[in-house]
Amino acid sequence: MVVLKKPLLMARELIARCVSPGDVVVDATAGNGHDTLFLAELVGDQGKVYSFDIQEEAISKTAQKLIDARLLPRVHLICSGHENIAFYVKEKVSAVMFNLGYLPGKNHLLVTRPDTTLSALKASLEKLRFGGVITLVLYSGHTGGEDEKKTIIDYCSKLEQGRFTVFLYEMINWANYPPALLSIEKHNSVK
Ligand SMILES: C[S@@+](CC[C@H](N)C(=O)[O-])C[C@H]1O[C@@H](n2cnc3c(N)ncnc32)[C@H](O)[C@@H]1O
């Protein structure tokens, strides 16, 4: 058994710890639908997942995965940028997952960007309930990735201590730009 899980799996482990059946959560980057499906299973039939992507193809792939698993009724699929979270999501949420970058095997120009990712993160911090968690899997190997990673880390490193705990989890001995996981927990009192 591997104890130190890779960032994508570690993100899921953190999310699973703070999400209960009946909760409302967000997948900020639907992509091929793996994370949306994972979240739909976690929230149960009384919960709700809002799932965003700017690409029709990602939304339809995600929809098909959910139909196959009979979980589509739990998910609100939104073909729009995650920077519009505040417009679509009115409830407090337990978790927000970001898996940044581009849709694997597709157009590398349709990629998450520092300014819109940062807007979405700020909106997510507002929507997050106390005790909730945001995970961001950051990639630096593609054009603009390093800039996005730096933008997010710089912003999060200044989040008020006591209101937020922020962790950066990164493999520092792997070649070829391995992903990193940034996770944020929101508190209602000074820790
Ligand atoms: C690495 S993929 C996500 C993988 C996905 N979580 C999964 O489980 O398969 C990144 C996705 O972010 C999407 N994306 C890019 N800019 C976005 C934006 N502003 N809002 C929402 N999604 C965006 C891309 O279209 C792409 O599908």
pLDDT at position 109: 78
135 lines ligand 1 (CB under 6 A): no
> Residue 41 and residue 102: Cα distance in Å, rounded?
24
pLDDT at position 190: 58
- Residue nearest (by alpha carbon) to ligand 1 atom 19: 81
Can you give the residue ranges of every domain in the chain? 7-186
- Residue nearest (by alpha carbon) to ligand 1 atom 18: 81
Taking CA atoms, 91 is separated from 21, 86, 140, 183, in Å, by: 15, 9, 32, 21
pLDDT at position 191: 53
Question: In testing the pocket of ligand 1, which one of 12, 25, 26, 29 has its CB within 8 Å of the most ligand atoms?
Answer: 29
- Residue nearest (by alpha carbon) to ligand 1 atom 5: 31
What CATH number should be reported for the domain whose range is 7-186? 3.40.50.150
Nearest atom (ligand 1) to Cα of 37? 8
Tokens representing 103? 């849709």
Q: Give 144: exposed, middle or buried? Use CB within 10 Å, 0-12, 13-18, 19+.
A: middle
Nearest atom (ligand 1) to Cα of 137? 1
Nearest to 93, CA basis, from 24, 164, 187: 24
pLDDT in tens, the chain (191 residues): 889 999 999 999 999 999 999 999 999 999 999 999 999 999 999 999 999 999 999 999 999 999 999 999 999 999 999 999 999 999 999 999 999 999 987 777 789 999 999 999 999 999 999 999 999 999 998 889 999 999 999 999 999 999 999 999 999 999 999 999 999 999 997 55
Nearest atom (ligand 1) to Cα of 52? 21
